[in-house]
Amino acid sequence: MSAAAEMVAEVTYRDACRMALRDALVRDTRVFLMGEDVGHYGGCYAVSKGLLEEFGPERIRDTPLSESGFTGIGIGAAMNGMRPIVEIMTVNFALLALDQIVNNAATIRHMSGGQFGVPLVIRMATGAGRQLAAQHSHSLEGWFAHVPGLKVLAPATIEDARGMLWTAIEDPDPVLIFEHVMLYNSGGPLAAGAGAVPIDKAAIRRAGQNVSLITYGGSLPKALKAAEELAGQGIEAEVVDLRTLRPLDDETICASVAKTRRAVIVDEGWCSGSLAAEISARIMEKVFWSLDAPVARVCSAEVPIPYPEHLEQAALPQVPAIVAAAKGVVG
């Protein structure tokens, strides 16, 4: 490895996302970014700050407040040879573009018999924790992971925030990237030579023998902290970062559960009809005879996310609940 590749710098998750955007814009003149306030304002979460000045309004495009409209424009641009990156401010606003995403972007390759693809990337913030109340605190990535024709990513680390975007841009089909709002200010080391990463594999973030903690996105730091607490009590938890929610990496999930013989799924979505429910079902179908305890789930409370901070935190999966669930399945 070269000396340059060995060098590391401390960056935030937000910085890593910006670096990924800039890299994509430099590498390929077909790439452009469009969305609400991505230009002059620099993005709702300051991810695109400075890009308008560097690349100009042709490639950093502020749009009207019409998610259906500019998502549709992104689909059309992608079908005509461009590589658009559409930013939807938060996941709740993606509901206004559901027709474009689900009925158009996800289906065109199938409905055209493979004649047309939609190489479109859609980025959006997801999750709760910033007191944005019930209408702006959704974790709906599991809804989109239900839809064939889409790839759904949830980068939880600095490396993935930096590296997943370029791989997504090269994909011939639509890719949705969910960035958890509570990760933007988090920081960590990033190698100078860090580049593209795969978007079809889960990752073991901590090895363990007694229970598998399966999670993604903003819940990964909580799962890692819970694993530390469990280690102090003699329970070695293996932490699986899903990274990609569609397609799920069944091989990595099931290999971990077969080894530890117990599973706890941590999902900020609501429990009913959740991504956690799908993962639990796949574990039952594929490695049922390896289990020594029922699969446990730690999800958000079945309520609209409250505005008051203490109630918001109470509604979300937290470290004590993860620890308790793991101790419950270990017995």
* Residues labelled catalytic: 67, 136
Q: What is the largest CA-CA distance in the chain?
A: 59
The answer to whether residues 50 and 79 touch, using CB atoms and an 8 Å cutoff, is no
CA torsion through residues 196, 121, 135, 303, sign: negative
Q: Measure the CA–CA gap between 285 and 42, rounded to whole angstroms.
A: 46
Non-local (6+) Cβ contacts of 103 within 8 A are none
Cβ–Cβ under 8 Å, residues 177 and 155:
yes
Place of tokens 């992971």: 145
Among the listed residues 33, 35, 32, 99, the one whose alpha carbon sits nearest the alpha carbon of residue 64? 35
Dig out the tokens for 268 from the structure: 């900020």
**Helix axis angle, 13-27 to 158-170, nearest 10°:** 30
Residue 116 φ/ψ region, left for φ over 0, alpha for ψ in the -120 to 50 degree band, beta for the rest: beta
Phi, psi for residue 187 in degrees, rounded to 5: -130, 165
Task: Report the C-alpha gap between 124 and 284 in whole angstroms.
Answer: 32
Distance of CA 55 to the CA centre of its chain: 27
Q: Return the closest-CA partner of residue 151 out of 198, 215, 184, 93.
A: 198
Task: Assess contact for 220 and 239: CB atoms under 8 A.
Answer: yes
Question: The tokens 């901070």 sit on which residue?
Answer: 309
What residue type is assigned to position 60 of the chain?
I
What's the full length of the chain, in residues?
A: 331
